[in-house]
Amino acid sequence: MLREMAKCGRHLLVCEKSNFTHSKSTHRHKVDTHYYNYRVSIIIPECGMLPPAIASICKTLENYYLVKQLSLHEMLEPEFINTFIKEGKCYALSYNTRIDQDNTVALLPTGKLILSIDKDTYEELGLEGQPSKYSHRTVMRYIVAVDLREASFVPGRKRYDRVMWALKEKKPLTFDLLMSCSSSGGKEASLASYFHCQLYQPTLSTRILKETMCPVLLSNELNGKENESCSSQEFLDWLGAVFSSIDCNNQTDSFLSSYCCPEPNTVLDKACLCTISGFIIPEGISRLLDQLRLYFEELKLAPWVSMTVHGFADSPVSWGQSEHGYHKGGENLYNFLVFRNQDYWLQMAVGTQSDCPP
């Protein structure tokens, strides 16, 4: 596996090159631990419509709920923990909260409850936590982590009673939450039976690109090869231009944009760009990635396919339990570039106030 990092004052980009069939490939782990995603964009070159197999998977992406004004202590009730956390999997993220100004919360599928809270709230709660890595000299934000799956986290035990008292009586915290939960162990349960909430489905939109300039790529040349192929960084810049509907033919004296497609390049007669928006959990993204890998078995003309996954800018975490902040933009995304031979490039990008992607 080849890995490189490009660092500047505003972002951190980590690029990896590997093969899906390699025994040490980390692609599954990278998808599974990027918990909170609001948009997935797929580009398929030389394709005039969204392939039915991919469209079918888009329709099966997990529904999610918006729970308004939920008192956080309700997620600590033993019945909820047993049904959705100890015997299931639950994703929850505070909605319409700003990580650099507001109190925010995330419930990880591992059972960890992560609170990113301001100094006043932290002192009022009285729970053990750590200063945010991005507080600099004056600590204004703290991170509190509670393991709801811990065997001793049950009523009557000191840790449980302390947390419940803090969140229910001492400093009640209320949030609007995006949630996607499933139960297991033979039990059928729905969030709607626990909370008053609204059900949503991820939305799908498709756009067909015509006569689009595109970088020439070689799967074994992550850094590009002079006069033969473009680099991973150049490709990611090009993706950003495509997503933003920027004309890659623009001249240097253009008023709107001076961006030009990197060289060497070619022209795609057509390309399918589909975008899925919502609260999208890793299980659905894994199914999409698996289907994109199968796309080349149909003898299609595409030399590669691309899938870009955007995380929530105001999520308290990026990958796993890694702390994430906003600073100037809250970048929090990754992109898989899948080649016909099952090689892939994985590009992971975060803003200044975020741990390095794993």
pLDDT level of residue 53 (50, 70, 90 thresholds): very high
Note the pLDDT of residue 328: 74
Query: Same domain, yes or no, for 129 and 268?
Result: no
pLDDT level of residue 255 (50, 70, 90 thresholds): low
Query: Residue 357: inside a domain, yes or no?
Result: no
pLDDT at 10 over 60: no
Query: Same domain, yes or no, for 232 and 343?
Result: yes
The closest alpha carbon to 248, from 274, 46, 257, belongs to 257
Mean residue pLDDT of the chain comes to 90
pLDDT level of residue 184 (50, 70, 90 thresholds): low
Query: Residue 210: inside a domain, yes or no?
Result: yes
> Which is higher by pLDDT, 278 or 353?
278
Query: Residue 131: inside a domain, yes or no?
Result: yes
Q: Are 308 and 239 in contact (CB under 8 A)?
A: yes
CA distance 336 to 16: 10
The closest alpha carbon to 143, from 127, 159, 158, belongs to 127
Query: Same domain, yes or no, for 148 and 235?
Result: no
pLDDT at 324 over 80: yes
Boundary (domain end) residue, out of 173, 200, 227: 200
Note the pLDDT of residue 300: 74
Query: Residue 137: inside a domain, yes or no?
Result: yes
Query: Same domain, yes or no, for 14 and 75?
Result: no
Boundary (domain end) residue, out of 147, 167, 200: 200
pLDDT at 186 over 50: no
Query: Same domain, yes or no, for 35 and 151?
Result: no
Helix (H) or strand (E) holding 163: helix 158-165
Note the pLDDT of residue 45: 95
pLDDT level of residue 327 (50, 70, 90 thresholds): confident
Query: Residue 103: inside a domain, yes or no?
Result: yes
Residue ranges making up the domain that contains 39: 2-62+202-351
Domain count along the chain? 2
Query: Same domain, yes or no, for 221 and 347?
Result: yes
Structure tokens at 274: 């589909």
Greatest CA separation for the chain:
71
How many percent of the chain have pLDDT more than 70?
A: 92
What type of residue is 334? Y
Dihedral, CA atoms, 120, 124, 125, 127, nearest 10 degrees?
Answer: 80
Note the pLDDT of residue 42: 97
